[in-house]
């Protein structure tokens, strides 16, 4: 079975892409709920490690064949980007985490999608709305980490979201061809 992980900066259209298909079950970790309910700090490694633990578990379950086809709205790359962006962890520590996952073959049967593009729509979505001004920095970190993983053989599809039907159709076609 395969794990399809949809990644990308805020306002790139990830959730819209995920919602555009209905043939693969979708999982979205309720990070906002956990973060708020547990009063986690915005900075510091505790918040990062909660997300990392979830990623390690999901990737191991997938590698070991316990998961059916599943699509995740955000994954380990998002956790890594936001860890650095919010000064929870260093870039060096993120590379160490990614290398651990690579060395343990935790990306076996995982297909990542990096959705690029930024919607100009104004919105009030969640407690992270104040981070919208840092989308260029966030996007650069996504590129840095996906390039790192791609150079090491991880399957990552990059899709430019033009916020049109053709972008959605391209995403859906790739998913169907990988499934």
- What is d(CA 142, CA 75) in angstroms, rounded to the nearest whole number? 12
| Nearest residue to 10 (alpha-carbon basis) of 165, 139, 127 | 139
> At 130, is the pLDDT very low, low, confident or very high (cuts 50, 70, 90)?
low
Domains and CATH numbers, the chain: 3-178 (3.40.50.300)
> What average pLDDT does the segment 96-104 reach?
98
Residues recorded for the chain:
179
Residue 35 has pLDDT above 70, yes or no: yes
pLDDT at 17: 95
Question: Please, what is the angle between helix 76-85 and helix 135-151, to 10°?
Answer: 130
Q: Cα–Cα–Cα angle for 95, 108, 58, nearest 5°?
A: 75
> At 12, is the pLDDT very low, low, confident or very high (cuts 50, 70, 90)?
very high
pLDDT at 44: 84
Q: How far is CA 8 from the centre of its chain?
A: 6
pTM over 0.95: no
pLDDT at 106: 98
User: Are 3 and 54 in contact, with CB atoms under 8 Å apart?
Assistant: no
Higher local confidence (pLDDT), 59 or 36:
59
């Amino acid at each position: 079975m395969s794990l399809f992980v949809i990644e990308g900066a805020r306002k790139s259209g990830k959730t819209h892409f995920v919602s555009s298909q209905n043939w693969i079950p979708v999982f979205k970790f309720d990070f906002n709920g956990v973060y708020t309910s547990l009063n986690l700090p915005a900075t510091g490694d505790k918040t990062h490690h909660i997300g990392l633990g979830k990623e390690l578990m999901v990737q191991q379950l997938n590698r070991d064949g316990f998961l059916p086809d599943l699509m995740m709205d955000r994954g380990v790359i998002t956790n890594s980007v936001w860890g650095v962006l919010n000064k929870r962890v260093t870039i060096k520590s993120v590379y160490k985490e990614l290398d651990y996952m690579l060395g343990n073959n935790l990306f076996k049967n995982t297909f990542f999608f990096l959705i690029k593009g930024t919607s100009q729509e104004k919105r009030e979505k969640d407690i992270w709305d104040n981070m919208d001004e840092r989308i260029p920095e966030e996007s650069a970190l996504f590129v840095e980490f996906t390039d790192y993983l791609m150079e090491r053989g991880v399957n990552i599809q990059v899709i430019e979201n033009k916020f049109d039907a053709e972008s959605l159709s391209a995403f859906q076609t790739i998913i169907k061809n990988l499934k």
